[in-house]
Structures are given as C-alpha cells and as structure tokens.
A = this chain, B = another copy of it.
Amino acid sequence: MTLTVGVIGGGQLARMMIPAATHLGIDLRVFAENDGSPSAIAATQVGDYVDADQVLRFTREAAVDVITFDHEHVPQAVLSALVEAGVAVRPGPNALLYAQDKLLMRARLSELGLPVPEWAAVSTEAELDAFIEAHGGVAIVKTPRGGYDGKGVRVVRRGREANDWFEAPGIGALLAEELVEFRRELAQSVARRPSGDIVAWPVVESVQQNGVCAEVIAPAPNSAGRIADVAEQIAVTVAEGLDVTGVLAVELFETTDDRLLINELAMRPHNTGHWSIEGSTTSQFEQHLRAVLDLPLGATGTRDAWTVMVNVLGGPVGGGLDSRYAKAMAEHPTVKFHSYGKDSRPGRKVGHVSVGGSDLDDAMYQARAAAEILTE
C-alpha cells in the first residue's frame, strides 16, 4: 500500500522532501499558495491555507495518510478542523502553537525548566523601558507571531523604538529578551515519532548574516562532549515536553560564559539541517517523512568528518542553471548544488551548496567559493 503525505506549503522545504519521497516510494501531495511554487514538481493543489474548507478538501482529494508542513503559519482553527475531521496532523496543533507564538513558547520552555534568555511580555513603551533598564540598557524585541529570517526582530535601546508595533492592530504584547552575549550560534535537530522514538543529529554551528542563516558546519567544531550532550538533551526535552512529531530544530546560543540558551524553535526541516542531505546517513527530509508516517527512524550519523553548507542568497534569475552554475560545477566537482526553482531577489534564499570532507578548512573554502560564484 502506498503511503501518502500531504504537505501544506510549497516552499523549498516541501521541494526537498520530493527526493526522499521518490526514493522511499511515498506519494507526496502539496497544498501550495500559488502556481509555480518550488515544490510544483510534486502533485500540487493550489489553495489558501487559512481556509479550513479548502484544506479539508485537499486532504480528502489527495487521500493523505498524514498532513505535515512546509511552514508554521497554518492557523490553529484550520489545524483543529483537520484534527476534528480525523486527519492525522503532525506536528499537531498543540505542538505547533509553540512554534507559532514566541511568547507561549518562552513561557512553556521556562515551565519545563529549559535554559532560555531572560524574557518578559511587554505591552507598553513603559514596560519595555523597564525591561531595557533592568538588562543593561538594551533588549531584543520580537513580534510573537509571523517573524522569520530576522523579520519581526529588533535590537532596541528605548521603548519607543517599538511603538509602531505596540500601536499596530493584531500584534498584542511583544516578547522582550535580554541581548545574549554569545560566542556562536548552534542548532540541534531531532526527529520524533508519534510512538515516542526519538533520534538526534549531531549539533551544528550556524553562522548568521543579517539575521539570516548563511553557513552551517556539521558537526559544530569543538562540540564533542558536554556541549553535544547538553544540546541533545535540550532538544529531546523540548520535543517530548511539547509533544513534537517530525523534525524539530532548536536554535541555540552558546554564551560567552559557556551556557546553552534556546533561541528559536522550528517544527519542520530547517535550514540548519540541509547539510544532512549528503552529510548524514538519513537526511532531515527523509527523517521527517518517516517520523510523521510513524515509520522507524533512520541512522543519524555523519558521512564525513565535516560537512559545510552555504546558502545561496540572491543568485541567478529564475534560480535555474546558467553559466554561473557551469563555472561553479567546473571549479568545484565535489560540491553538491541545490537550486530551489525560485525567482531571484537580493538576499533571498534561492539555493544552497554542500560539501563534505576530512579537512574543515578545505570544505569551508570549497563551499564558500562555489556559493560566491552563484551569487556574483
């Protein structure tokens, strides 16, 4: 019997599930916002994910065994309607809630005793000023919902710098956080089945530029031992505490005083896990499909001493193969190229490159040089 997975959202994460589904013999159906989405290679229905009727019709017509997601923006009302209709939704609404609302997430993680930056919910300029004063004259302020890739995040030194958000309808309270002094950013991915089985990939280092993930090194250099153990323990606790099914990525700060603090969560394959396509025995995309179908999980070991992933931001118009790809391929025969089939805009993630090897410096050089050719 062929198993069918329905994916809501047609971005590059849905797209990169296609190779895994093809090899495993899983029928992948996508509910995308518009025609020509990155995942349009798979059988795709176009519709509006905030409309419960449309989403329900998709699940019936595609005869899905389970619904999962390319993004976390499907409203709780739609998720609940699916659950009430008997559709398996993984991760479920009660887990996704914490990926959708950073205030609820911070509150729940604190409740679980997990390490997070100091935080508060602030509803007025005065409350934010008080938080700033109590935290060395600076704070990170975030809209609880809808932010990604640095959007909805500001570093502020005065409460009034967030007044437009306080005054905007529909945002409500903001999340204020201490500005963490960190040495570097790490990310820990795990995958969890509904039956409870859970596996972890090695913790990775993620290098951000302008709030966007630019590079990932897997595993994170100098992370063996305590850091790896603590990172894994944190992610497992989050996955179990929030009842996450599928892949969970936990973005972490490694502080200058040697602590790990949880920055963000993503309940889906994540940019910091793209290295696993070639770098791990089981990629995050294959694992996500196995996990949401409640199939046994695959091995998560590394296939090379080091894997380096570099995002291609901007890049050739149309996101396809052009002479720059030919140049990059000719100069870097060991680099693996991933193009998302997206129109190019400055700074937009249109693909990534990945390379494995025994020498980290060489892998870094190859991946950066190849990505640079594509973004010239």
Tell me the A residues contacting B by CB distance below 8 Å: 1-3, 15-16, 18-26, 28, 41-43, 277, 281-282, 290, 293, 295-299, 301, 303-304, 318-322, 325-326, 329-330, 333-334, 336-341, 351, 356
Who on chain B is nearest to A301 by CB? B334
Q: Tell whether, in the assembled complex, residue B321 and residue A24 are in contact, meaning their CB atoms are under 8 Å apart.
A: yes
Can you add 4 more A-B contacts, CB < 8 Å, to A26-B320, A293-B321?
A3-B321, A23-B338, A24-B321, A299-B334
Distance between Cα atoms of A321 and B3 in the complex (Å): 6
Least Cβ distance of A338 to chain B in Å? 5
Who on chain B is nearest to A333 by CB? B299
Q: Tell whether, in the assembled complex, residue B2 and residue A341 are in contact, meaning their CB atoms are under 8 Å apart.
A: yes
Q: Which residues of B contact A19 (CB under 8 A)?
A: 18-20, 22-23
Contact of A290 among B20, B23, B329 (CB under 8 A): B329
Distance between Cα atoms of A282 and B337 in the complex (Å): 11
Given contacts A281-B334, A318-B1, is CB(A25)–CB(B295) below 8 Å?
Answer: no
Task: Give the residue among A23, A322, A334, A339 with the most B Cβ atoms within 10 A.
Answer: A23
Q: Tell whether, in the assembled complex, residue A330 and residue B41 are in contact, meaning their CB atoms are under 8 Å apart.
A: no
Task: Give the residue among A26, A277, A337 with the most B Cβ atoms within 10 A.
Answer: A337
Q: Which residues of B contact A340 (CB under 8 A)?
A: 25
Q: Tell whether, in the assembled complex, residue B290 and residue A1 are in contact, meaning their CB atoms are under 8 Å apart.
A: no
Q: Which residues of B contact A41 (CB under 8 A)?
A: 18, 21-22, 28, 41-43
Who on chain B is nearest to A19 by CB? B19
Q: Which residues of B contact A293 (CB under 8 A)?
A: 321
Given contacts A15-B22, A18-B19, A19-B18, is CB(A321)–CB(B295) below 8 Å?
Answer: yes
Distance between Cα atoms of A104 and B22 in the complex (Å): 37
Q: Tell whether, in the assembled complex, residue B25 and residue A351 are in contact, meaning their CB atoms are under 8 Å apart.
A: yes
Task: Give the residue among A20, A25, A42, A333 with the most B Cβ atoms within 10 A.
Answer: A25
Distance between Cα atoms of A320 and B290 in the complex (Å): 13
Contact of A303 among B282, B303, B341 (CB under 8 A): B303
Distance between Cα atoms of A144 and B22 in the complex (Å): 34
Q: Tell whether, in the assembled complex, residue B15 and residue A296 are in contact, meaning their CB atoms are under 8 Å apart.
A: no
Given contacts A19-B23, A322-B1, is CB(A333)–CB(B42) below 8 Å?
Answer: no
Q: Tell whether, in the assembled complex, residue B295 and residue A339 are in contact, meaning their CB atoms are under 8 Å apart.
A: no
Given contacts A1-B318, A2-B320, is CB(A22)–CB(B18) below 8 Å?
Answer: yes
Q: Tell whether, in the assembled complex, residue B2 and residue A330 are in contact, meaning their CB atoms are under 8 Å apart.
A: no
Q: Tell whether, in the assembled complex, residue B339 and residue A25 are in contact, meaning their CB atoms are under 8 Å apart.
A: yes
Who on chain B is nearest to A339 by CB? B25
Distance between Cα atoms of A215 and B19 in the complex (Å): 23
Top 6 nearest A-B pairs (CB, nearest first) are: A25-B339, A19-B19, A2-B320, A296-B330, A296-B329, A299-B333
